[in-house]
Amino acid sequence: MKERVEVALNKIRPSLQADGGDVELVEVTSDGIVKVKLTGACAGCPMSQMTLKMGIEKVLKEEVPEVKEVIAV
């Protein structure tokens, strides 16, 4: 599942990088929790929670149905 999550993150990454940010995969747990670290401009952005839930989590759940939740660490 981790490989499929990485592939999905690579689809999201260009739009984050266009705004000066990025996302780094930290861990994928056996119960479907994906832990990511927002970096660059995303790290301090007030909209980062919305980006995480409405953007990253939405795409990951579509691409990898086993994903239950995405959290920032």
- Each residue of 39-63: pLDDT tens digit? 999 988 889 999 999 999 999 999 9
* Per-residue pLDDT at 44: 84
Total domains present in the chain? 1
CA distance 18 to 28: 25
Per the structure, the complete domain to which residue 54 belongs is given by 2-72
Distance (Å) of CA 42 to CA 2, 7, 51, 60? 22, 20, 9, 18
Model confidence, pTM: 0.91
Q: What CATH number corresponds to the domain at position 57? A: 3.30.300.130
* Per-residue pLDDT at 45: 86
